[in-house]
Chains A and B, each alone.
Chain A
Amino acid sequence: MTVLSPLIDHFNYFIIIFLMVSGLYIVVARGNMIKKLVGLMLFQTSVYLLYLSPGKILGGTPPIIDENFQVYSNPLPHVLILTAIVVGVATLALGLALVLRIHEAYGTIEEDEIFAAGDEDK
């Protein structure tokens, strides 16, 4: 039990790290540009969770002032991540737009095929 207890106590962080690494793996391992973007977003989202997790305080209520409650969850991470989500959405939108333009120019969104075509041009 003692071996497992750190795992159970911090299970949220293990999930976050799993998501983070799998996202990064997709970015590196996949040649399809859309799939790369999916991996990138998975990676980013896991970081959002990393921020939100420590903001939750056990037994804490939403941060609204009320004399019956003294323990509040930390609202600041939520505000920060709201900003980060906006940035993430903008990045994704721009990434997809670029992929569309690449598809128009090359007729494919597989990196291998584009680079193979690029070599022939030279």
Chain B
Amino acid sequence: MISSNLPALQVVLPLLGAVLAALVRRGPIAWLIALVVSWTMPAIAFALLRQVLTEPDGVVSYALGGWTPPLGIEYRVDLVSAYILILVSVMGALVISYAPRSVASEIAPERQAWFYTMYLLCMAGLLGIAITGDAFNAFVFLEVSSLSTYVLIALGHDSRAVLSAYQYLIVGTIGATFYVLGVGLLYVMTGSLNLADIAGRIGDIENIRPLLAALAFITVGISLKVALFPVHLWLPNAYAFAPSVVTAFLASTATKVALYLLLLSVAAMIVASVVAVFQANIKRMLAYSSVAQIGYITLGIALITQTGLTGGIVHIFNHAVMKATLFMAVGCIVFRTGVVRIEDLAGIGRRMPLTMGAFVIAGLGLIGVPGTVGFVSKYFLVAGALEKGWWWLAAIIVISSLIAVVYVGRVIEVAWFREPTAAIKDAGKPPLEMLAFTCILAAAIVVLGFDTELTAGIAARAAEVLLAGMT
């Protein structure tokens, strides 16, 4: 009974949890609800992956409300979406376990229950996008996750957080509306909203101009959402002023989920990396680095070869782990010192060696040092570029990695090789659970850097599925 309804539970549980958390109105209880729900999610996601692997055609299809697809809304889990579900749910569970103290220090007590409500809603939306097989349903989930994200960002204690949330709302809504516009044109042309059904009917269309317009609208809309260069301007501000926990969660999941729907970014990698070098605020620096890293992911997708696509997909996961670690380490530092300017972090490495150690490991991962997950994805990307004989592209990937050395190195230099200032000397140790989850993720960066079976293995099979669907 339960196992046949897992696809629906994956989305319904966080939705119910959000309502419960809103009803109790008490921060700690709301956190407990969020914690239980968030740890149930990866369990369901892994169970779904097992079902997918045992199905003969590799697809778990679920007719929502008993209405058979393509008329009814279909939840469809294949290898690719199972991969995204695991990514989102595992990151969501880790971040929420780390959250309570950071939340308590950055958000007023009467608002904490709302924070957990929005967190669960956001997760429901993200999981929904990944699991649904219906184009319009995907729009609804996109807006569920977006609206809750605007609120999460506005919860930041800085007054500029509200401003960033407003700007994100404008851009996000334009993006989502472009997406609906594209879906509307597709519906007019094919008479279907089921993604698999659309794919089947699209070949019969003789007049392809509306089709191209539809795809253009969908691509531009989603690019706005994932902050793809050159429409990335909302992202660094939103990340810099949002509460630390929100940043860790969004950086690791939200922008990736929208990429799943998108499936130019040479410029993004270089420009955003260079801009990252010149940032004074450490959260903004990491945010610009995210713009660059998303460039790697789209680059892998743009290669359209088995190796390149594997690199892109595996980097979705690897970047999520690395960025979550970086932002969680920054969260620990902000929690104890309230400092976000890189210059003010002098000597923090001596005061918080474990936190900064995790930061260094994740930073090395961003650069792509062998032995970290970053190396695995860069390896596939460079190999994919070389397979096509694009030497210049491989060179650009390497150059962009070298720029990462500069901005990560700047933080390391300040944190470890300078005398601690008085403010840093007085800072206490970060709380155990925040430190523990940061270190667990840092360890994962190294472990998954050596054992690539789970990440690259699934990514390679997912790439096969995607390529088979294209031809």
Contact = CB atoms under 8 A, between A and B. Distances in A.
Contact of B166 (A24, A90, A102): A102
Interface string A10-36: 000000000000001001000001001
Given A80-B136, A102-B163, A54 B188 contact: yes
A102 B162 contact: yes
Nearest to B163: A102
Contacts of B166: 33, 95, 98-99, 102
Interface string B107-139: 000000000000000000000000000001001
Interface in A69-97: 77, 80, 83-84, 87, 90-91, 94-95
B177 A106 contact: no
Given A83-B140, A101-B154, A50 B160 contact: no
A116 B140 CA distance: 37
Contacts of A102: 162-163, 166
Contact of B169 (A44, A87, A94): A94
B162 A47 contact: no
Interface in B132-152: 136, 139-140, 143, 147, 150-151
Nearest to B217: A47
Interface residues of A, number: 28
A91 B184 contact: no
Contacts of A24: 174
A94 B184 CA distance: 25
Contacts of B181: 47, 50
A81 to B, nearest CB: 9
B33 to A, nearest CB: 23
Nearest to A122: B280
A27 B170 contact: yes
B461 to A, nearest CB: 34
A98 B165 contact: yes
A38 to B, nearest CB: 12
Contacts of B160: 118
A80 B180 CA distance: 10
A114 B163 contact: yes
Contacts of B177: 43-44, 47
Interface in B186-243: 187-188, 193
A91 B162 contact: no
B169 A95 contact: yes
Contacts of B163: 102, 106, 114
A77 B150 CA distance: 28
A105 interface: yes
A101 B173 contact: no
Size category of the B interface is 20 to 34
A19 B174 CA distance: 14
Contacts of A91: 143, 147, 169, 173
B3 interface: no
Given A90-B147, A105-B159, A36 B170 contact: yes
Given A27-B174, A80-B136, A98 B150 contact: yes
Contacts of B173: 40, 44, 91, 95
A50 B170 contact: no
Contacts of A99: 166
A87 B150 CA distance: 14
Nearest to B178: A47
Contacts of B147: 87, 90-91, 94
Contacts of B143: 87, 90-91
B19 to A, nearest CB: 15
Contacts of B136: 80, 83
Nearest to A45: B177
A101 B170 CA distance: 16
A94 B166 CA distance: 9
B151 A94 contact: yes
Nearest to A40: B173
A87 B140 contact: yes
A43 to B, nearest CB: 6
Given A54-B188, A98-B165, A114-B163, A84 B170 contact: no
Contacts of B159: 105-106
A94 B174 contact: no
A6 B150 CA distance: 42
Contacts of B140: 83, 87
A120 to B, nearest CB: 13
A118 B163 CA distance: 11
B174 A98 contact: no
15 contacts: A27-B174, A36-B170, A43-B177, A47-B184, A83-B136, A83-B140, A87-B140, A91-B143, A91-B147, A94-B150, A98-B154, A98-B165, A101-B162, A102-B166, A114-B163
Given A90-B143, A91-B143, A95-B169, 7 more contacts: A27-B174, A51-B180, A51-B184, A98-B162, A99-B166, A102-B166, A118-B160
Interface of A: 24, 27, 33, 36, 40, 43-44, 47, 50-51, 54, 77, 80, 83-84, 87, 90-91, 94-95, 98-99, 101-102, 105-106, 114, 118
Interface of B: 136, 139-140, 143, 147, 150-151, 154, 159-160, 162-163, 165-166, 169-170, 173-174, 177, 180-181, 184, 187-188, 193
The 5 closest A-B pairs by CB, nearest first: A105-B159, A98-B166, A87-B143, A101-B162, A51-B184
